[in-house]
Amino acid sequence: MAKTNLTLSNVFNLPEVQSHMAGLVISPSYLKEAERCELKGALTQISGGKGIDPAHGHFGDAFGLACAHIAIRYPHEGEEELLGRAFLLAATKFGFLEAIKEKTRKTLIQSILLFYQLWHTKYAPEGWVGLASETRIVLDVDGIRFGGAYDLLALHTPSGMCRIFDFKAVESEFMYKWETQKQILHYTLLHYIHSRYLLNEDIHAPLPDGQGCYFVALINTDGVVLFEREPHLGLYTQLRPYVLDALQKGEALMLAKYGDYESFTVAPGGWACSGRTQCKFKKACYENGAIDVKLHVDERVFDSPIAYSMTKSDLMCLVDSLVRHLNSHRSAWEDRAELATVAKASLYDVDDDEATEVASLIDTVEDVDGIRNLLRD
């Protein structure tokens, strides 16, 4: 429910806003919003999110869900069943008639087929097996909620080690710095902590030997291309300052639940206020302008979310342990060249005709039940 008579001086005194702020999780998504200006990150959360057309999120969710299914079920299903069920899952996230710019059913199918070919020709032969997807882990760190949900956890069967992978569907890579983006590192820490707890209970759990990569589907007027974008091999050395910064932002959220908006830092020099586009909260900050409250709710549903409680000291000990662990494996992966562009439609023979054929087949059914019937035929 929108309330238009609220301003920066009183919006954080609203009980429902305080309750919402208290429940926020310090996740990669929140940290990205708050990276340049914590106040902007908080205001984004209470005013309906980033304002991006939800169809972009639906497309990305569909792509990630389908690809994770392929990685996990690859050893157990034949090609037709595997891809059929992947398309079925994608259809539950991105509607048959849904489209935004070049993100359509056809380009979604192309993106999924590109990933299938990449997994089929590279990752599966190397011994990679998907273990889990959309696993949410949240740590209560002295009252601060630190967590997130990764797209794919995969096991490298020859070594017994694992890595986290993430899926992205973008129109341009201009705003992304994959080499230094810490999203996968964030999830790797969460999984490492979960594995350590399981191992302490004598439950086998694979440990990471490094960071996985971002599978990036680039979709624009030139067509669809799939990239593997790998974080810098030494990014893990920045884990401690990253976590300390995240906890500082978490402390600001805790203070905000008591109505103290001044606990948030703002960008020095106002460079987050007037970038390529004007910040939509500029009037709220500079002129005490009205703020429309529309609390941003994460509508995702997770099976059996994992939760742990610990002190800040405990967390930092685990951070240091993970850094030492990854450092001990670094020499093994320094021999590999950094991953570059390896998956293209022309390389894997996923052309417009093939995607059109699949899209036409899906056109013959009206809903998800129709696809299920196709799979049974």
Whether residue 24 has pLDDT greater than 60: yes
Q: Band of the pLDDT at 342, cuts 50, 70, 90? A: very low
Q: Give which of 237, 240, 361, 259 is closest to 312, Cα–Cα.
A: 240
Q: What is the DSSP string of 17-81?
A: HHHHHHH--B-HHHHHHHSS-HHHHHHHHHBTSS---HHHHHHHHHHHHHHHHHHHHTTTS-HHH
Question: Do 75 and 194 form a contact (C-beta atoms < 8 A)?
Answer: no
Q: Which two tokens stand for residue 348?
A: 């894997």
pLDDT digits (tens, 9 = 90+) for 126-179: 999 999 999 999 999 999 999 999 999 999 999 999 999 999 999 999 888 999
Mean pLDDT of 294-315: 84
Q: How much is the pLDDT for 357?
A: 58
Beta bridge partners of 274: 278
The pLDDT > 70 percentage for the chain reads 80
Mean pLDDT of 191-199: 96
More confident call, 254 vs 188: 188
Long-range contacts of 194-202 (CB under 8 A, 24+ apart): 194/137, 194/306, 194/308, 196/318, 196/321, 197/308
Mean pLDDT of 114-123: 96
Q: How much is the pLDDT for 349?
A: 44
